Amino acid sequence: MSAPHPATEDYAVLAELAGGFIHEIKNHLNTLNLNLQLLAEDFQNPENQRERRALTRVQKVQGECERLVALSNDFLRFARIKDLPLEPADLPRLIEDMVDFFTPTARATNIDIKTFLPADLPTLRLNTEMMRQALLNLMLNAAQAMPKGGELTLQATVENSQVALSLIDTGTGIEPEVLTKIFKPFYSTKSKSGGSGLGLPTTRKIIAAHGGTIDVQSELGKGTKFTLRLPITPVS
């Protein structure tokens, strides 16, 4: 057995250190947020303009703490994706479960979901929890691209030794210069709405951990198509 490459070992150590550092920061943020909640309770019924201003400021800091905790959780989730345990799974059923889960959100934003899943799709080896997360990231991404409603289509086909699953939206599309960066960690065009820039990188990392790939095609004003390709492996 060959020894691990030094660069690989360095990356593993750095990832472990970063994960521990973020976890520690998250603990402090939770403590800070708890104290802010207690402080906000003291100003819950402000009696003058000064107390109203104080309550507003406390609430703003609370919001920033919650955003940083969410960002920390996204980072830890991203950093821990490696060597996922895979088990035989029914991809169509997993997709149908995710569609059922996402339907209330879709209805609230006037998005129509359609699925085209062949009945003879092979059983795949998946980590269902992580694959659910990957699909949810893509579905949320599609919803954000269709603020005035639209159509989201999920379709699967068998291509040689792979299953290709496409998610196609009729949204605003992605600008060419942005398209080359969307899988980079922390790159986001949604900074004002609190986007962490880790949703799509996490999705790609999940698919890679399954031995698969993800690619994207997009046209401004017409929509975007993400295609996941997952290997068909013998299921014992």
* DSSP assignment string, 178-193: HHTTTTSTT--S-GGG
Distance CA 232, CA 129 (A): 19
Distance CA 56, CA 92 (A): 48
Mean pLDDT confidence for 27-53: 84
Integer-rounded Cα Rg, in Å, for the chain is 21
Q: Would you say the C-alpha torsion 102, 155, 153, 222 has a positive or negative sign?
A: positive
What pTM does this model have? 0.70
Mean pLDDT confidence for 64-70: 77
**120 vs 80: which has the higher pLDDT:** 120
Indicate the fold that domain 87-231 takes in CATH: Heat Shock Protein 90 (3.30.565)
Q: Is the pLDDT of residue 223 over 90?
A: yes
Measured at the CA of 76, the angle between CA 145 and CA 28, to 5 degrees, comes to 110
Instruction: Report yes or no: 139 and 132 within 8 Å, Cβ to Cβ.
Output: no
Please, what's the b/e burial string for 40-68 (b: 16 or more CB within 10 A of its CB; e: otherwise)? eeebeeeeeeeeeebbeebeeebeebeeb
Supply the mean pLDDT for the chain. Answer: 83
Percent share of the chain, pLDDT over 90: 39
For 140, phi then psi, to 5°, come to: -65, -40
**155 vs 133: which has the higher pLDDT:** 155
Q: Which pLDDT value is given to residue 184? A: 83
Measured at the CA of 102, the angle between CA 100 and CA 105, to 5 degrees, comes to 130
Q: How far is CA 78 from the centre of its chain?
A: 9
Q: Which pLDDT value is given to residue 124? A: 93
Q: Is the pLDDT of residue 5 over 50?
A: no
Q: Dump pLDDT digits (tens) for 145-194.
A: 999 999 999 999 998 899 999 999 999 999 988 888 888 877 666 644 44
Distance CA 23, CA 116 (A): 41
Q: Which of 89, 70, 72 is nearest to 21 (CA)?
A: 72
3-state secondary structure of 113: strand
Q: Which pLDDT value is given to residue 215? A: 94
Q: Could you tell me the pLDDT band of residue 15, with boundaries at 50, 70 and 90? A: low
Dmax over CA atoms of the chain, in Å, equals: 72
Q: Which pLDDT value is given to residue 60? A: 85
Mean pLDDT confidence for 108-119: 93
Residues 6+ apart with CB under 8 A from 133: 77, 202, 203, 206
**67 vs 203: which has the higher pLDDT:** 203
Distance CA 144, CA 150 (A): 11
